[in-house]
Amino acid sequence: MTTTGTPSPGATRVGPARRPASAPLRVLTVVALVAGVIAIALIPLSATPYTNYQLSVVAAFAVAILGLNIVSGYAGQISLGQSAFMGLGAYAAAFGVTHGWPVVASFLLAALLPAVVGLVVAIPAVRLRGNALATVTIILPILAVPLAKRFSDITGGSEGLNVDWMHAPAGVGLDDDQWRYYVVVAIAAVLFLLGRNIVVGRIGRAFAVVRTNEAVASAMGISAHRYKVLAFTIASFYGGAAGFLYVAVVQFASPDLPNFLVAINMLAALVIGGFASLWGSVVAGFFYVYVPVFAGAVDPSRTNIFYGAALLLVLFIVPGGVSGGVSRLVRLLVGRLFGRRPPARDDDALTDPQPITSTQQDTAVPDASPDGLRSSVGPRKEVP
């Protein structure tokens, strides 16, 4: 029964499309994906060992930054502590390796130990908001470095822990760098797939509404506190897993990794790559690894200048980061080439908005909390 006098012409659109995508855009995405997978598979066979090493490090950092993206980009809770979890994961992996653990056991330790630490930290920490939460999270790397140096029995102190593992099995016909590349990229791909599944469904929608409006979240039965803790825990899990991947490539865990500058640079790289975007995390991984390389070619101290300039560019020109900018550009080009703007659908009456459009100026503020119902206002504290 249609009640509003605007009968919808066709069947209801309940496709899987998460965002408006036209047919040519979908084809383009599939082609790009297939080409990407082939390129990723073939590159290490012809690249230099050093390039393979760098690309593997990119994959490790992309995973760490994906975790950061889940808590900061998707759930909106700024964390400056991601490097601490990556460092913890790296030490845990090195611990497992030096004690002769099976690889799978080392991986589980490297991912789950940081997840548990993240959970324990998050339960009280996410009661804070915005800058206060960011300030608390920055304590993690600041604590992690001296702790790593202090417990030198386990961590190797300032020297760090060298490990010797993840060699190409005999008979595979691959060098170590190629083998490590494939292992690391495969694990990273699985983690990205799992991350994608998280951010597109029930959990991802809950993260998004917690980020944009906690009053609406609670009205829809979503506990903001619980989902912030969850996002933080997932981020810590990804940080730890990234630490494992890092040790698989670099064969080394040291106090340089949990450093807070690493966390800040990861966040900056994420802003540049694109918040709340899976591709953004990949771009950020490349940015994180390659900017110091390029900057180093000019002058090693110039990395920060590159970061600063890129950040400013992104903030002023492409607020969605590189991934957002590229996808907008692709949409625009596809729209031009195929004669219509993909997001527009001219096959129904409502697309041409009724006269009401012009009567409403207050559409500019609906993102604000309803009725001053900000959870910091009012007699009730948000969610015990």
Partner 1 sequence: MTSRLSVRDLSLHFGGIQVLDSVGLAVEPDTIVGLVGPNGAGKTSLFNCISGHYRPTSGSILVDGVPTLHRPPHRMAELGLSRTFQHPALQLDASVLDNVLIGAHTRLRGGALSWALRLPFTISGERRARQRAGELLDHLGLAGVADRPAGSLAHGLHKRVELARALLSEPRLLLLDEPAGGLPHAEVEQLIETIRAIRTEFGLTIVIVEHHMGLISALTDRVVVLVQGRKLLEGTALEAQRHPLVVEAYLGRTAA
Hey, is 173 helix, strand or coil?
Answer: coil
Q: Which is nearer to partner 1, 195 or 240 (CB)?
A: 195
Going 303 to 259 to 232 to 374, the CA torsion angle's sign is negative
| Other beta carbons less than 10 A from residue 328's beta carbon | 12
Distance CA 178, CA 46 (A): 10
Distance of CA 141 to the CA centre of its chain: 19
Distance CA 325, CA 193 (A): 23
Hey, is 162 helix, strand or coil?
Answer: strand
* Contact track, partner 1, 181-220, x by CB under 8 A: -------------xx-xx--xxx-xx-xx--xx-xxxxxx
Pairing, β 161-162 against β 252-253: antiparallel
Q: Which is nearer to partner 1, 140 or 217 (CB)?
A: 217
Name the segment binding partner 1 (CB under 8 A); options: 1-9, 154-162, 170-178, 256-264: 1-9
Phi, psi at 252, each rounded to 5°: -165, 130
Name the segment binding partner 1 (CB under 8 A); options: 81-89, 240-248, 291-299, 342-350: 342-350
Query: Does residue 376 bind partner 1 (CB under 8 A)?
Result: no
Q: Which is nearer to partner 1, 47 or 194 (CB)?
A: 194
Query: Does residue 48 bind partner 1 (CB under 8 A)?
Result: no
Q: Residue 224 in contact with residue 382, Cβ under 8 Å? A: yes
* Contact track, partner 1, 293-332, x by CB under 8 A: ----------------------------------------
Query: Does residue 6 bind partner 1 (CB under 8 A)?
Result: yes
Query: Does residue 68 bind partner 1 (CB under 8 A)?
Result: no
Residues 6 or more apart whose CB falls under 8 angstroms from that of 16 comprise none
- Applying CB under 8 A, the residues found at the interface with partner 1 are 1-6, 8-9, 12-14, 16-20, 194-195, 197-198, 201-203, 205-206, 208-209, 212-213, 215-224, 230, 234, 343, 345, 347-351, 353-357, 359-360, 362-363, 365-371, 373, 378-380, 383-384
